[in-house]
């Protein structure tokens, strides 16, 4: 997994995290099922470096076929050689492979960076995800489920083995632990704890990550009266100042996500926040 996040960071020249980029509604499941006839979802991003000055830094296009995402192409500054290509393949409706490649500069050929392979049980539940990098490094995630069909444990087999144990209440994930095996023992050592809180409507309102007894990250979520996410605030390392906030914008006519505005602090020693604006457009077939 660490290779994946390092790779995503290569596609942007700002201090925005991979999580910000992945919040496009096409990937975050916020299109509310409006993908059956969707052909493309396009994301355009600009960054405000100083008052009155905006610079385009990202173009991203998601292409669909019969409701399934088949490609995800990113161009930094709209320059083709500085780009990322993600291709998806399916068996019926189940995702089988996800292949990520990139151009690093004007002289580089398209380089395969990593490939993800997916395997399922007869109930179409994910059993295994295998990530293989171009250098041959492999990480395997194995999934087990409880009697309610919810993910119970995820085992990560890699250079640093991990397991993630999930705990639920009324079908909602309320706690997840990250553990590593104890050397020469059958036991597991607790590394991190994730806790989740929800409102009366079942919307996630808080997420807290504690690692080795230290608060690493906490996120707060706010929704409108239609249950749509309208703001997220993230703090890291128990800082009282938000590392970044994201405000979500919706089209008044269709109700679909129209964009988001991200404000983040590039340096904790500085008071000035930077601002990036993301806008979405959709192309539907007849």
Give residue-wise pLDDT tens across range 25-54.
Answer: 665 556 666 677 889 989 888 887 666 677
Kindly tell me the burial class for residue 91, based on how many C-beta atoms sit within 10 Å of its own C-beta (0-12, 13-18, 19 or more): exposed
Residue 168, pLDDT above cutoff 50: yes
Q: Residue 154: which of 138, 170, 139, 169 has the closest Cα?
A: 139
177-192: average pLDDT: 90
Q: Does residue 67 carry a pLDDT above 80?
A: yes
Pairing between β-strand 162-169 and β-strand 151-157 as defined by DSSP bridges: antiparallel
- State CA 121 to chain mean position distance: 24
Q: How far apart are CA 151 and CA 11, in angstroms?
A: 31
Strand partners of residue 236: 217
Residue of higher predicted confidence among 158 and 68: 68
Short-list 257, 194, 270, 206, CA closest to 234: 206
Look at the alpha carbons of 156, 162, 168, 174 in this order and tell me if their dihedral is positive or negative.
negative
d(CA 111, CA 30) in angstroms, rounded, equals 31
Q: Give the HSE-up count for residue 86: Cα atoms under 13 Å, Cβ half-sphere.
A: 18
Asked whether residue 284 carries a pLDDT value surpassing 80, the answer given is yes
pLDDT at 112 exceeding the cut of 80: no
Q: Does the pLDDT of residue 11 top 90, yes or no?
A: no
């Amino acid at each position: 997994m660490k290779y994946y996040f390092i790779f995503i960071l290569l596609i942007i020249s700002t201090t925005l995290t991979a999580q910000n980029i992945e919040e496009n509604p096409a990937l975050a499941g916020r299109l509310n099922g409006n993908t059956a006839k969707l052909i493309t979802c396009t994301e355009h991003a600009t960054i405000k470096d100083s008052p009155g000055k905006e610079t385009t830094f990202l173009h991203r296009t998601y292409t669909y076929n019969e409701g399934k995402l088949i490609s995800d192409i990113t161009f930094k500054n709209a320059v083709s050689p500085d780009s990322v290509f993600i291709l998806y393949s399916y068996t019926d409706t189940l995702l089988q492979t996800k292949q990520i490649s990139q151009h690093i500069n004007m002289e580089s050929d398209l380089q395969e960076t990593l490939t993800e392979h997916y395997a399922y049980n007869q109930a179409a539940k994910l059993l295994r995800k295998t990530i293989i990098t171009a250098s041959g490094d492999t990480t395997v995630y194995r999934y087990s489920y409880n009697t309610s069909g919810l993910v119970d444990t995820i085992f990560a087999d890699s250079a640093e083995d991990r397991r993630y144990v999930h705990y639920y209440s009324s079908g909602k994930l309320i706690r997840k632990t990250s553990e590593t095996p104890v050397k020469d023992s059958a036991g597991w050592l607790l590394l991190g704890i994730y806790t989740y809180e929800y409102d009366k409507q079942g919307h996630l309102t808080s997420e807290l990550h504690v690692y080795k007894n230290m608060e690493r990250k906490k996120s707060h979520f706010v929704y409108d009266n239609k249950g749509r996410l309208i703001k997220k605030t993230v703090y890291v390392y128990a800082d009282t100042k938000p590392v970044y906030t994201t405000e979500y914008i919706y089209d008044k006519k269709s109700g679909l996500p129209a964009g988001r505005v991200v404000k983040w602090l590039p340096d904790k020693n500085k008071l000035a926040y930077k601002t990036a604006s993301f806008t979405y457009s959709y192309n539907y077939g007849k």
